[in-house]
């Protein structure tokens, strides 16, 4: 097992306690993210991987994978488990928290994962292919009634009427939290489930959401069969859209993250790999790009540390 050394850190300028500064934070624990982490560890870099539940990964649900060399006929679940086992045997830290956003200040990235803050010299995005937006007009109302984090913005809607759109069952926890603050919560699940157990002020609506409307702020959510009058909408996704994770990221015309041959994005020190950079959406491409991103991030971190001496 590789022993990784960390640099300890204290408090930032707003009094938020921070952890050690990692050499790299990898957002996503599919084939690209785990490949990047393994290659970083091989170069003796400290790395933390932010992961959602394994079953949320698209590869997990593949009944059979036949195009990854050496693993003919393996299920996606078995292949992903093999990747996880490899990473864990190398001592790689995997944190099951959703990254809400992150930003760069100087040479350091600060990552907000469920309102716990981590710091790293570099970041690798391996977030698959989440849609940039779910609703019509969604981007227009971000910060004006559209939110992606209940804990972050819930207090703004105390005593009001809100809608919560959940992509996965984990969103129910955020709906429960918001029900303690809001007067009324409409819960719109995008997954199949027979029974829901909420407080009396939560109404489950099994109808697909289409668009959001308002003037200065959100005032309505359009569903397939009705319109809900609301003061705000919380969209709880499995993975945050790339354009909401960090400001200034450039995209190609097809909507994928723009990268160069080293998997470097438009932001220095930020790399991307896997499905989020473009087609083909295959394991071999993701693993290969993860390797390149990991090695590129390692080289970048070496440069930053030498500059700081």
d(CA 249, CA 245): 9
pLDDT exceeds 60 at position 34: yes
pLDDT exceeds 60 at position 2: no
Weakest-pLDDT range from 16-25, 120-129, 168-177, 221-230? 16-25
Q: Give per-residue pLDDT as tens, 253-305.
A: 988 999 999 999 999 999 999 999 999 999 999 999 999 999 999 999 999 99
Residues 232-263 as b/e (b if ≥16 CB within 10 A, e otherwise) read bbbbbbbbbbbbbbbeebeeeeeebbbbeeeb
Residue 294: φ, ψ to 5°: -65, -45
- Strand 218-223 versus strand 227-229 pairing type: antiparallel
Would the pTM of this model clear 0.95, i.e. be above it? Answer: no
CATH numbers and ranges of domains, the chain: 21-131+240-308 (3.50.50.60), 138-236 (3.50.50.60)
Please provide the size of the chain in residues. 309
Residue 23: φ, ψ to 5°: -70, -35
DSSP state of 141: G
């Amino acid at each position: 097992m590789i022993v990784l050394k960390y640099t300890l850190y204290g408090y930032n300028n707003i009094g938020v306690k921070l952890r050690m500064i990692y050499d790299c934070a990898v957002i996503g624990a599919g084939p690209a993210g785990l490949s990047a982490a393994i290659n970083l560890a091989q170069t003796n870099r400290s790395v933390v991987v932010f992961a959602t539940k394994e079953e949320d990964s698209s590869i997990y649900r593949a009944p059979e994978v036949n195009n990854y060399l050496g693993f003919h006929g393996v299920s996606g679940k078995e292949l992903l488990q093999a990747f996880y086992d490899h990473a864990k045997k190398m001592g790689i830290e995997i944190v099951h928290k959703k990254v809400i956003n992150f930003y760069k200040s100087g040479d350091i990235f600060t990552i907000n994962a469920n309102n716990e803050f981590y710091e790293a010299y570099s970041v690798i995005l391996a977030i698959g292919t989440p849609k940039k937006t779910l609703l019509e007009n969604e981007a227009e109302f971000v910060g004006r009634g559209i939110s992606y984090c209940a804990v972050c913005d819930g207090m703004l809607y105390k005593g009001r009427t809100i809608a919560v759109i959940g992509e996965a069952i984990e969103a129910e926890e955020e709906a429960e939290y918001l029900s303690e603050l809001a007067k009324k919560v409409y819960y719109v699940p995008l997954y199949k489930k027979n029974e829901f157990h909420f407080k009396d002020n939560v109404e489950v609506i099994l109808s697909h959401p289409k668009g959001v409307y308002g003037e200065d702020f959100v005032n309505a959510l359009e569903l397939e069969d009705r319109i809900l009058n609301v003061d705000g909408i919380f969209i709880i996704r499995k993975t945050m859209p790339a354009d909401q994770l960090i400001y200034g990221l450039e995209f190609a015309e097809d909507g994928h993250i723009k990268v160069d041959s080293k998997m470097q994005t438009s932001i220095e020190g930020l790399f991307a790999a896997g499905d989020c950079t473009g087609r083909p959406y295959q394991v071999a491409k993701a693993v290969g790009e993860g390797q390149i991103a990991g090695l590129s991030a390692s080289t970048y971190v070496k440069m930053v540390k030498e500059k700081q001496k």
